[in-house]
Amino acid sequence: MNNEKLAPENFKVLISEARIQQRLRELGAEISRDFQDSKPIMIGILNGGFIFLADLIRHIETDLEIDFMRISSYGNHKESTGHVKVLKPLSADINGRDVIVVEDIVDSGLSLQFLEKLLSAFRPNRLKFATLLHKPSKTRVPVRLDYVGFEVEDKYVVGYGLDEEQLKRNLRQIYVVNE
């Protein structure tokens, strides 16, 4: 299946499907080593993190559970407002459990900072953070990232779960949007 015709002219491929899948194999191996015998709960952050979570867990060789949370900080804007709201809370009980939060992208870091505070209050045994993409030059609060797919420049990116006004999440590669 190739749906690349959904990418208009101003989208330039930043990370190809092959590079994404290769990196997921590496991250999956690392997580498998770090969580042998622990049955972690992996929490996908909706909406952007769903494809990353789905592909990543299939490279992990340990039993695990999944759950999802939905938070919003952007509304329909491209810059973080800093006001994070929980739109769908966690279902699982993470008290005493090993938890890996799975984000699509860390930009300002405000969403992650909010999640760390919120989830640590449940007293998990270990709380780790995985993100497919990180924009270090935009991050304005201290964040602790345990697993990072790729560091990217300060450009708006779409595809592989990441949206442009709610569309383009189904593209198989990651693109930079040229204005």
Residues of this chain that interact with ligand IMP (CB under 6 A) are: 48, 73-74, 80, 103-112, 156-158, 162
User: Would you say 25 or 83 has its CB closer to ligand IMP?
Assistant: 83
Shortest gap between Cβ of 47 and ligand IMP (angstroms)?
7
Question: Which of 157, 115, 114 has the alpha carbon at shortest distance from 132?
Answer: 157
User: Which residues have CB under 8 Å from 37's CB, separation 6+?
Assistant: 62
Q: With contact defined as beta carbons under 8 Å apart, do 50 and 161 qualify?
A: yes
Residue 107 annotated among the catalytic residues of the structure: yes
Shortest gap between Cβ of 106 and ligand IMP (angstroms)?
5
- Count other C-beta atoms under 10 Å from residue 83's C-beta: 11
39: tokens are 């049955």
Shortest gap between Cβ of 109 and ligand IMP (angstroms)?
5
Shortest gap between Cβ of 144 and ligand IMP (angstroms)?
13
Distance CA 20, CA 37 (A): 27
Positive/negative CA dihedral, 158, 162, 165, 166: positive
User: Would you say 37 or 165 has its CB closer to ligand IMP?
Assistant: 165
User: Would you say 57 or 158 has its CB closer to ligand IMP?
Assistant: 158
User: Would you say 29 or 167 has its CB closer to ligand IMP?
Assistant: 167
Catalytic residue among 55, 98, 104, 107: 107
Q: With contact defined as beta carbons under 8 Å apart, do 67 and 53 qualify?
A: no
Question: Which of 29, 69, 66, 30 has the alpha carbon at shortest distance from 48?
Answer: 69
List residues with catalytic annotation: 107
